[in-house]
């Protein structure tokens, strides 16, 4: 099975969010050309006719600036969702979409028409931040820091007093943040598993992300699976007691018989 390249993974992750963003532009352009006045089908709190806005409101925007302000964070946060939480990404996006709209319908101001996907954006941002806290993973923590760095200013969207000249649906922002936090807690046992603890015992953290197979320079790492799965080798030792060689006792020369002695004496006399 061939491993996916990082660019291919990124494209696969942003594909669905990008299709949704293209749908936003298409709907707004069609509404401008044909003058359908589709914004009337936005979310109207506590009104029966406004229930449809739970689904349709994130698809409708006031102008192209409104679309761009939601499109960029939606692609980034949605792409991170489909890359890091791939097994549950569709469920998270659907729940964030519907629950945020439902709670906004209950708690928002009664006579206002709420449109735009900012509530969904806040839900995804809160999900990533809360998910990084309840799951012990390096990649989720790193992505959460990216979210804070680029979109930390989202917190000001809870306070419409800072934007007196703009009609901001702070209720959808707040309901989205609450929804994303609850979804992160509810689905904490699903999706990517912890890898920070296991990294103490392994030379590299084990993740399912394709770029883990490459080093900093972009070169593919050597396969160490065989080293990790190799069966232990049993070495047996045998011990023997060392025996010292016996010392041979010196043999005494045999005594010569009397005849030999006499022969020697006779020999000496010759």
pLDDT tens for each residue of 180-203:
999 999 998 888 877 665 444 445
Q: Is the pLDDT of residue 14 over 90?
A: yes
Strand partners, 92: none
Residue 100 in tokens: 């945020």
* CA dist., res. 36 & res. 220, Å (int): 54
Output the average pLDDT for the chain.
80
* CA dist., res. 57 & res. 30, Å (int): 16
Q: Is the pLDDT of residue 254 over 60?
A: no
Residue 256 in tokens: 């010569």
Residue 30 in tokens: 């069609």
CATH architecture for residues 6-213: Up-down Bundle (1.20)
Residue 169's Cβ-count burial label (10 Å; 0-12, 13-18, 19+) is buried
- Tell me if residue 18 falls in helix, strand or coil: helix
Q: Is the pLDDT of residue 222 over 90?
A: no
- When comparing pLDDT for 269 and 27, which is higher? 27
- Any idea where the domains of the chain sit in the sequence? 6-213
The residue assigned the tokens 């941002």 is: 125
Q: What is the pLDDT of residues 162-171, one digit of tens each?
A: 776 777 888 8
Contact 160, 172 (CB under 8 A): no
Q: What is the pLDDT of residues 31-59, one digit of tens each?
A: 999 988 999 999 999 999 899 999 999 99
Measured in Å, how far apart are the chain's first and last C-alpha atoms? 109
The mean per-residue pLDDT over the stretch 85-91 comes to 93
Nearest to 208 by CA among 87, 53, 96, 66: 87
Q: What is the pLDDT of residues 96-151, one digit of tens each?
A: 999 999 999 998 877 789 999 999 999 999 999 999 988 878 888 899 999 988 88
- When comparing pLDDT for 219 and 17, which is higher? 17
The residue assigned the tokens 């022969």 is: 263
Residues in the chain: 270
pLDDT in the model for residue 138:
83
pLDDT in the model for residue 208:
55
- When comparing pLDDT for 259 and 192, which is higher? 192
Confidence of residue 172 (pLDDT cuts 50, 70, 90): very high
* CA dist., res. 199 & res. 159, Å (int): 42
Strand partners, 25: none
Strand partners, 43: 114
């Amino acid at each position: 099975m061939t491993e996916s390249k990082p660019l291919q993974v990124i494209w696969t992750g942003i594909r669905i969010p990008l299709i949704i963003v293209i749908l936003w532009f298409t709907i707004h352009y069609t509404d401008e050309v044909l003058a359908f006045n589709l914004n009337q089908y936005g979310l109207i709190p506590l009104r029966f006719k406004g229930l449809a806005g739970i689904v349709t409101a994130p698809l409708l925007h006031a102008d192209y600036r409104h679309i761009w302000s939601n499109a960029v964070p939606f692609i980034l946060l949605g792409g991170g969702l489909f890359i890091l939480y791939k097994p549950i990404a569709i469920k998270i996006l659907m729940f964030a979409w519907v629950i945020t709209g439902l709670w906004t319908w209950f708690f928002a101001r009664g006579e206002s028409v709420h449109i735009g996907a900012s509530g969904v954006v806040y839900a995804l941002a809160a999900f990533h931040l809360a998910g990084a806290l309840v799951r012990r993973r390096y990649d989720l923590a790193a992505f959460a820091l990216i979210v804070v760095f680029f979109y930390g200013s989202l917190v000001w969207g809870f306070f419409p007093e800072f934007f007196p000249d703009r009609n901001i649906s702070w209720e959808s922002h707040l309901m989205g943040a609450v929804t994303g936090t609850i979804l992160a807690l509810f689905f904490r046992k699903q999706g990517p598993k912890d890898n920070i603890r296991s990294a103490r015992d392994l030379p590299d953290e084990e993740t399912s992300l394709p770029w883990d197979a490459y080093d900093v320079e972009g070169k593919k790492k050597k396969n160490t699976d065989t080293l990790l799965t190799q069966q232990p080798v049993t070495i047996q030792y045998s011990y023997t007691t060392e025996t010292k060689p016996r010392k041979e006792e010196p043999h005494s020369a045999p005594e010569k018989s009397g005849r030999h002695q006499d022969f020697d004496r006779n020999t000496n006399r010759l």
